[in-house]
Structure 1
């Protein structure tokens, strides 16, 4: 029992020293570059984001999303001109951590945790 108490205290002490950097305000507006995968091929896209719009350039396409910030680190995007019902579903995006000019992003269709993915985004402007 003594060993269990000691190990628990040590684990709590070590985990309390680690904090994830999240300077989300720095990444709300700007021009960003991201990588994504289609059929096993990694590609690069670009996104230009204002406080209420995101214009995404990827795979020879351009999509415009309206965005609504839920808090400093999370926003919901909805296509401005969806082509069908599935395309009209909102996407939830959450900044998990930041470092220098990059951030780790977790995204999924709103309220659909089965579609959750992660990616790294770099701010270029």
Structure 2
């Protein structure tokens, strides 16, 4: 009986220490949706991303961003046509885990490090709704 308890404890520890699945290259390109509450209302963003450009469709607005991949799971996104100083700041994205056709990510503004600066990190989940299509 002690062996069974010890064996189950070992298996529990092994499985608890595993990192979440991250098939990040599967999510570098395609069409995605992302939902979040803004001012108490659920809003949806649809975005189309290829390796270096992302086009976001949000609340009757279209924005275009450049994408610079740091590694397979992290990238920096920068607005190509910022309308104000806040939109000029790049945003850092990191894919935390993938599951089926969704990925969980965290994102934050890229700001210069100094003692007075704070980094606000938010999380979200995006769903891949279709693969990238090539332009002919």
TM-score (norm 1): 0.85
SS in structure 2 at match of 1:81:
coil
Moved over 4 A (4+): 9-14
Paired residue total: 117
Q: CA distance change for structure 1 residues 13 and 29 in 2, over 3 Å: closer, same or farther?
A: closer
Tell me the equivalent position of 1:5.
Answer: none
1:121 counterpart = 2:126: yes
For residue 31 of structure 1, give the secondary structure of its aligned residue in structure 2: strand
Offset at 1:33?
0.6
Counterpart-to-counterpart distance in 2, 1:65 and 1:50: 11
The 1:29/1:110 distance shift into structure 2, 3 A limit, reads: same
| 1:65-102 deviation per Cα after TM superposition (whole angstroms, max 9, x unaligned) | 00100000000000000012111000001100000000
CA RMSD of aligned residues (A): 2.0
TM-score, normalising length: structure 2: 0.78
- Aligned position for 1:104: 104
For 2:60 and 2:41, the matched residues in 1 are separated by 15
Structure 2 unaligned segments of length 5 or more: list them: 1-8, 112-116, 131-136
Secondary structure, counterpart of 1:25 in structure 2? helix
Match of 1:55 in 2: 55
